Structure 1
Amino acid sequence: MDIFDSCHIINDHLISTREGQARNELIRLLDYHERNDIEYSPLVNHLIRETGLYPYLKPDTADWGDRFVYEIFKVDIGGKESTLHREQSSLLKRLINGENVAVSAPTSFGKSFVIDAFISIKNPNNVVIIVPTIALTDETRRRLYKKFANNYKIITTTEVELAEKNIFIFPQERAMNYVNKIDSIDILIIDEFYKASSVYDKSRSPALLKAILKLGIKSKQKYFLAPNITSIGENVFTKDMVFEDKLGFNTVYLERFDKYTEIKGDKIEKELQKGEILLNILEQTKTKSLIYAASYPQIDKVSNLLNEMLPISEKPLLIEFSNWLTINYGANWKLTNLVKRGVGIHNGQLHRSISQIQVKLFEEKDGLANIISTSSIIEGVNTSAENVIIWRNRKSGGNSILDSFTYKNIIGRGGRMFKYFIGKIYLLESPPQDDATQLDIPFPDSILGDLDEEIHISSLNNEQVAKIVSFKTEMYDILGKEVYDRLLKENIFQSNNSDFVKETARQMKDNQEDWNGLSYLNSNEPESWDRLIWKIISLQPGEWGDGPYGIQHKKFVEFVKVLVANWGSTIPELLDELDEFDIDIEQFFKLERIAAFNLSSLISDINILQREILNNGTDVSPFVSRVSHAFLPSVVYQLEEYGLPRMISRKLYQNGIIDFNNDNLNIHNTIEIFHEIGREKIKSFNFIDAFDEYILDYFYDGITISESESPL
């Protein structure tokens, strides 16, 4: 590559107002400089400035004008200053001026920097950040804790006492727990807000829309973030917001390799060729790769191929991780063998701490080289790689062809500012047609019954108001006006389907004798739970393990009864007990999640209704709490979200270090206990093994304030 000729081409693009092409050529030029260890000339620095990529400027070799730009675009992002690029700065200015902004930008744009800068500059009292997953909750918490924990209480779990200044970070379902606790919100931030559309998240979009409505009326300002949206259809949820399309501003360049054109023959031959091409890519690239496999069966197929063909790594960290998985999950789990070959799995079903540890290892030089994934990797975490390999051109689940929007989100994981200037995209199946994506957000009728028509009148049309009034009239008939108005005000129901709540209440009132014996759920005798759990889950058929690891209702009931021993038994011991019901480790992960969320939410709503309708003094809140934490001590369950697996918590408990059964413990005073004991002291205990130490370092990093963090 001739540097001067490249600069000439870039300049020609700029003169002809083809800034996007100029930026792409410039990024390729910067990659050439990095690979060949070439110092930036003043000319290269000036072209960086002209394309708006100010963070890439090298002040030591830039002329005074470009150095000046580098300095004036610096902002405090929480304890340290960083230079924003032109479009980040433009976006931040709108927010500082108090505007409500919905922004669509590439994955590599750096939208989170804008949040951090806003908090640092504006010093708000209450910030609410809604993210789609627990994994993204913890990733965001870790970033903000390091910067702002001296000045803010960082809240990610339910039932936490508020401080004077708070940053709330959680999925939409948890947000509802704080609707009545927060008087005023300075800024409401919705990350990945495209999930408000039922097109992209049919089951959870109603909960997000309900959170936007109920928290939005308390918010002084709103900031919604999404990738790859070209326009937003008219809707009540973003009606007072400015839409900013920043999709044209990329900070990395994506280079595409259409490997699918080399694949010929019948179905069997094509699969064999795909496997050979994948192995060749992994052998030739030698850098980090994300392999998008779309579905669980395809993950199994790729896993089997790599398990068979890749050599066992000699990296100590991976050997230790494999041994740790063998002890804590079992030698026969495919991940145990895969990690020895430098390969991880991210499918949205594993224990949260295991997924987090794998992402951490993926970012280590001597850690995992490859991760096989469903779309969970684009929804759950902000990780990137130099290489993204599309093994299968289907959406997660494996049935529908990838649409342009999802495809762009996946390949957007290729490249990263300051790490990989160029992301390399390898397509083993054909890509979708490049289409614009308009985000349409219809108002779902299912949430109407959970709204007060007087409070939300500005967001409702006449037909919706009429439906709410009709719904309330029916609920008054069942529960009485005073009771239903109180429950509505408390935002107490977990379900996002108002009709389901109504029909369950009606059935309970008409057949009260069928609900006798609910108090047995509070007992420590799981054998007495069968009829009740069976009856409860029958209210919502299809919620209990449908899909790739589907399960019969009877098996789910048996699973819950075994899960009671979750704290006292190891996972291999639980799996031995579940073997007679043909429940393997993959089903264990899925069913534990279903029990902790779906089952606990359903029983919580039933408990609310039965207290009002049956009025017999029964309250199964203790059971709801136990199942919502997968029958682990609540703090142990929450610590897993912070990256500390239950196995290490169990060791600390069994050796008398921390009494996790203490009812006075909450996540915040437990973190204080960990600080009082200290990282090195815990790592020195003889029951802590080598990989436990690695995990503890990761955990402590997430609860430690950066030394550079200074008071606002």
Structure 2
Amino acid sequence: MYIFNQCKEINNHLDLNNEDKARNQLILLLDYMKSNSVEYSPIVNHLIRLTGLYPYINTDNAILEDRLIYDIFKVDTGSEEPLTLHREQSSLLKKLLDGKNLAISAPTSFGKSFVIDSFISIKKPSNILIIVPTIALTDEVRRRIYKKFSHEYKIITTADVELSDKNIFIFPQERAIGYIDVIKSLDLLVIDEFYKASFDFDKERSSTLQKVILKLGKKASQKYYLAPNIEKLNSNLFTEDMEFIPLTFNTVYLSRHDTYKDITPSSKNTKLIEILNQHKEKKTLIYAGTYTEINTVSELIKNSIPKSDSKKLKLFSKWLATNYEKDWDLTKVVRRGMGIHNGRLHRSLSQIQVKLFEDEGGLNNIVSTSSIIEGVNTSAQNVIVWKNKNGASRLNSFTYKNIIGRSGRMFKHFVGHVYLFDKPPVEDETQLTIEFPENSIPDVDEEEYKNDLTKEQISKIIEHKENMYNILGKEIYDKLIKENAFQSNRELIEKIALNMVEVPHSWNGLSYLNSSPKNWENPLYKAITIQAGWDTKHANFVYFTQILSLNWTKTIPELLLYLSKKSISIDLFFQLERNVTFKLAALLSDINILQKIIFRDKHIDISPFISKISHAFLPSVVYQLEEYGLPRMLSKKIHLAGVINFEAEELNIHSIINEFNEFGMEYIKEKVSTFDEFDLYILDYFYDGISNNVQA
């Protein structure tokens, strides 16, 4: 009787054209039926059809009309069997196949990736570029795309790769810059999380994404931009020829619990443990907001949750103790079923944790910063918002919706539970405005974009160009800009160039970077003082870079022993290594370009050193393989066993992946006797990501 009455109410909502309310109530009913092992009746299946949730139809108990809908909406998504799309996915796919340019706002659980995969399967384009916000998401998308399309396309995720006839490019905007002149045409440009082109949402990286949108957007026959929770897209240059479609179509129901109303500061910790124990067989994401709060939650878990009997977690903890640090928080909390996710960790380490979170007998909880909403599309039945913070700032309504949207997942959890331990932000309408940043020099031609720039911005660009013409010469500077040679913003480029002209003697010794680490001190000091934000004292950063040069020959515990002299912890190690490989490498690359022109008579070229630091002093393919889920420690064991010589200069990421596939996993296991049991678990995960055995 309960089910019948619910169906009656749902039907009434539909009669009143209140489809969102009807769909939410239906999802709750489906969850009830699943929990109580009740089969769908023809009436329930019909309501599923009427609300557009076609993939949820159970064809065994559906009337012919509804079974036909289930089959009609099946499409090729690159999987072994066609999959049924829901109504709104199908509508978007039709528009894409008709050649429309679309900017979409849709909930996290919408299933946007199926639309991209279907487009590739049906349209069979020659070149597609998918821009994602993080390297972690690059690997997740690569794994999905590789399984489905690597037999037909070259899947490119790293820099300086030779193109094939048909290519799918997947990377963050910074890597896309290097392909602006390489890619001649695109059939589809996909920008995931395109709101990050707005300075309001990403102050550090928005200008780079804007540049990619403008430069590569011109080469794209079609564009498909994706974001969540955008109610209104204001008119702007970057999406001017696109149809904006805001969708609220949800496939899961979010059940919100205002826990903060029932707790005090003294009972907050107890309540967290109570909820985790209540859901200990389910997956829970804990959004902590800051690194400090991650530490707080970690301490609480270590002291309040008993160790798990899981063999996988025992092995993982032991592996972390051996390869990283035995007293590290992560080493200890994984034994209690919890992982730690932040943007600092080694890429492979984050991937392993997400894999364990998805596995049975793996991690039940992950505590994170905002990296979990930007980095991966994992699914959890529960999300706990521990702190209404995003770093130093309070959460805004947009980010808050993004976080809670991680709860529930189509086909996995009909209902996602959200527990708020801090008062949420006031809900407001998110209007997206994408403009050139006011306080920086836009990296565009002032004539071409004169209608989109303010007078002040045009004036800044002209003044900057005149200054650079005086230093480098007009022809040289214009050529560098055309080639997208610089990685830093124009203000920093001008600052470096002026400094080289005004105090040239202070740049003496750059060539020492190509020599022994003991000679790096002065040139590194000079370089890092020109730019702020190295997360430690300059002396410590220089020392860290010198010690990091031992990265391939020493273990991480050995490196940490050296670094302990400067009180550099394992968590700081991760951040400083990122600073070396990204920030320092980019800075020195620009310095090298400028010094080769300004100090041309000295014939200095520090590109060998830049290449080394950009790979954290590891063989380049070893560093790149970490993005594919193979940690450096495993690569080193394979190297020392004589299976693959990772130091061979002719290796590139595609040749090495081919080599791994030719050898096969069993051969690698047989030849490398030093692998422990968790190494083998990781190797299996790595091979899963480089095989093209298609799964639905």
Pick one of 333, 336, 339 that aligns with 2:328: 333
In structure 2, which of residues 272, 279, 300 is the aligned counterpart of residue 278 of structure 1? 272
Q: Map of 1:318-397 to 2, 5 A cutoff?
A: 318-395=313-390, 397=391
Deviations 1:67-89 (A, max 9, x none): 11111111111143111111111
Contact 2:133 2:375 in 1 (8 A): yes
Which residue of 465, 474, 487 maps to 1:481? 474
How far the C-alpha of 1:511 sits from its partner, in A, is 2.5
1:448 positional shift: 4.9
* 1:48-447 equivalence runs, <5 A: 48-79=48-79, 80-246=81-247, 248-264=248-264, 270=265, 272-286=266-280, 287-395=282-390, 397=391, 399-444=392-437
Report deviation, 1:510: 2.8
Alignment map for 1:270-669 (pairs within 5 Å) = 270=265, 272-286=266-280, 287-395=282-390, 397=391, 399-444=392-437, 448=441, 450-453=443-446, 464-465=457-458, 467-495=460-488, 497-523=489-515, 525-541=516-532, 543-545=533-535, 551-615=536-600, 616-669=602-655
Cα distance, 1:449 vs structure 2? 5.8
Give the 3 Å change call, closer, same or farther, for CA 128–454 of structure 1 in structure 2. farther
Q: Aligned residues, how many?
A: 692
| CA apart distance, 1:509 | 2.2
- Give the TM-score, by structure 2 length: 0.97
Q: Is the 8 A contact 2:207 2:442 kept in 1?
A: no
* Structure 1 Cα separation of the partners of residues 440 and 424 of structure 2: 36
Structure 1 residue 93 displacement after superposition: 1.3
Q: Pick from 658, 666, 680: which aligns with 1:680?
A: 666
SS at match of 1:237: helix
Kept after mapping to 2: 8 A contact 1:292/1:389: yes
Q: Identify which range, 509-518 or 67-76, moves more after superposition.
A: 509-518
**Paired amino acid for 1:527:** K
| Structure 2 counterpart of 1:253, one-letter code | Y
Q: Tell me the distance in 1 between the aligned counterparts of 2:126 and 2:508.
A: 47
Name the amino acid aligned to 1:657. V
Cα deviation, residue 162, structure 1: 0.4
Equivalent AA in structure 2 for residue 361 of structure 1:
L
Deviations 1:151-190 (A, max 9, x none): 1110000000000111111111110000000111111111
Q: What is the CA–CA distance in structure 2 between the aligned matches of 1:109 and 1:194, rounded to whole Å?
A: 17
| 1:461 CA drift (Å) | 6.5
Task: Note the C-alpha offset of 1:471.
Answer: 2.8
For the Cα contact (< 8 Å) 2:509–2:522, is it kept in 1?
Answer: no
The residue type paired with residue 78 of structure 1 is G
2:629 and 2:377 mapped to 1: Cα distance?
16
Distance in 2 (CA, whole Å) between partners of 1:563 and 1:159 is 24
Q: Deviations over 1:406-458 (max 9, x none)?
A: 11101101101111100011111111212111111121267756433466567
Give the CA deviation at 1:121: 1.2
- Secondary structure of the residue aligned to 2:104 is strand
Letter in 2 for 1:369: N
Asked whether the 8 Å contact 2:285–2:367 carries over to 1, the reply is: yes
Which amino acid in structure 2 is aligned with residue 206 of structure 1? S
Which letter does structure 1 place at the counterpart of 2:678?
F
Counterpart CA distance in 1 for 2:563 and 2:237 is: 48
Tell me the TM-score normalized by structure 1. 0.95
- The residue aligned with 1:693 is 680
Contact 2:105 2:226 in 1 (8 A): yes
Residues in 1 aligned to 2:473 and 2:483: alpha-carbon distance in whole angstroms? 16
Match of 2:3 in 1: 3
Deviates more, 1:663-672 or 1:279-288: 279-288
* 3-state secondary structure, aligned to 1:702: helix
CA–CA distance in 1 between the matches of 2:221 and 2:455?
Answer: 26
Q: 1:659 Cα deviation (Å)?
A: 0.7
CA deviations on 1:8-50 (whole Å, 9 max, x unpaired) are 0100000011101100110011111111111111100000000
C-alpha displacement of 1:463: 6.1
Counterpart residue type for residue 637 of structure 1: Y
**2:549 & 2:462 partners in 1: Cα distance?**
43
Give the superposed CA RMSD.
Answer: 1.5
Q: 1:187-221 CA distances to partner (integer Å, 9 max, x unpaired)?
A: 11110111111222111111111111111111111
1:593-615 Cα offsets, whole Å, 9 max, x none, are 01100000000000000111100
- CA distance in structure 2 between the aligned counterparts of 1:370 and 1:449, rounded to whole angstroms: 43
Q: Quick one: distance in 2 between partners of 1:228 and 1:400?
A: 20
8 A contact 1:451–1:488 mirrored in 2: no
Runs of 4+ in 1 over 6 A off after TM superposition: none
Aligned letter for 1:572? P
Q: Matched residues in 1 for 2:142 and 2:552: separation?
A: 26
Asked if structure 1 preserves the Cα contact closer than 8 Å seen for 2:74 and 2:82, the reply is yes
CA distance in 1, matches of 2:109, 2:648: 44
Q: What's the CA shift string for 1:528-569, capped at 9, x where partnerless? A: 11111111000012x201xxxxx1111111100100000100
The runs of 5 or more residues in structure 1 that have no matched partner are 265-269, 546-550
- Who is 2:32 aligned against? 32
One-letter identity of the residue aligned with 2:286: I
Residue 682 of structure 1 deviates from its aligned partner by: 1.4
Closer/same/farther in 2, CA of residues 661 and 306 from structure 1, 3 Å limit: same
Give distance in 2, aligned partners of 1:199 and 1:464: 18
Q: What is the one-letter code of the residue matched to 1:532?
A: P
> Partners of 2:224 and 2:445 in 1: how far apart?
24
Cα distance between partner residues in 2 of 1:341 and 1:414: 22
- Looking at structure 2, the residues matched to 298 and 451 of structure 1 have their Cα atoms a distance apart, in angstroms, of 40
| 1:680 alignment partner AA | E
The code of the aligned residue for 2:518 comes to E
Partner amino acid for 1:515? W
Separation of aligned partners in 1, 2:123 and 2:547:
50
SS in 1 for 2:416: strand
Aligned with 1:214: secondary structure?
Answer: helix
- Determine helix, strand or coil for the equivalent of 2:178: helix
Write the distance in 2 (CA, Å) between the matches of 1:429 and 1:219: 44
